[in-house]
Amino acid sequence: MFPAFVKHPQNFKFQGQDADEEIVLVIRAHPITNLAWIIPAVFIFLIPFFVPNFIQFINLDFPPLSPNFSLALLIINFLLVLVITFEGFLNWYFNVNILTNERLIDVDFSNILLNNQDIAMLSDIQEVSPSRAGLLGLIFDLGDVVVQTAGARVGIDMIKVPRPYEVADMILEQAEKAKETP
């Protein structure tokens, strides 16, 4: 449904794409990284169902809340869950890296009104360093890919992406092709 690793995607365009430029790879953070916002959202969602029972279990004598106040707290709780979920999904979905036959583009989505693009021409790429760390990296084959360009130009970091070694190989392969063609 929302893949994190797509080779040669169909019907995918990006702003600033040249007419003869073809997309080789679209990659975003591994879906397992979404647990960082899904788990808190689930806990916050469940608070209204368990807090009254917990208060009753430990025998605290709180005066009963008015129905209007209880409804307002419930609405605030669910709006908070909605905001956490919406923001988490947007950050995951729109933080994307695009490898084309001409360049490597890193789109960093900060919020709805601001995004930043780092663009590195493939002919300028000097070094690509993949790494995989930790148990999650080993189990789910996710890691980081750091791309260094010539001089003091753009450096691109791909954080917690699936198949980091395959991504690095594809970037190096495209960079070699770009350096061979005049």
Model confidence pLDDT, tens digit, residues 6-63: 999 988 888 888 989 999 999 999 999 999 999 999 999 999 988 877 777 777 777 7
> Mean pLDDT, to the nearest integer, of 61-68?
78
User: What is the full DSSP assignment across 5-55?
Assistant: EEES-SS---TT--TT--EEEEEE--GGGGHHHHHHHHHHHHHHHHHHHHH
Instruction: Give the per-residue pLDDT at 182.
Output: 66
> Mean pLDDT, to the nearest integer, of 170-176?
94
Dump pLDDT digits (tens) for 88-116: 999 999 999 999 999 999 998 887 778 88
CB of 107 within 8 A of CB of 114? no
Q: What is the three-state SS of 149-171?
A: ECCCCCCEEEEEEECHHHHHHHH
* CA pair distance 142, 107, nearest whole angstrom: 19
CB of 178 within 8 A of CB of 121? yes
HSE (CB half, 13 Å, CA atoms) of 78? 7
* Mean pLDDT, all residues of the chain: 90
Instruction: Give the per-residue pLDDT at 143.
Output: 95
Q: Percent of the chain at pLDDT above 90?
A: 61
Q: Between residues 13 and 84, which one has the greater pLDDT? A: 84
Predicted TM-score of the model (pTM): 0.85
Burial of 96 (0-12, 13-18, 19+ CB in 10 A): buried
Which one-letter amino acid corresponds to residue 131? S
User: In the predicted model, is pLDDT for residue 2 greater than 90?
Assistant: no
CB of 118 within 8 A of CB of 151? no
* CA pair distance 20, 8, nearest whole angstrom: 14
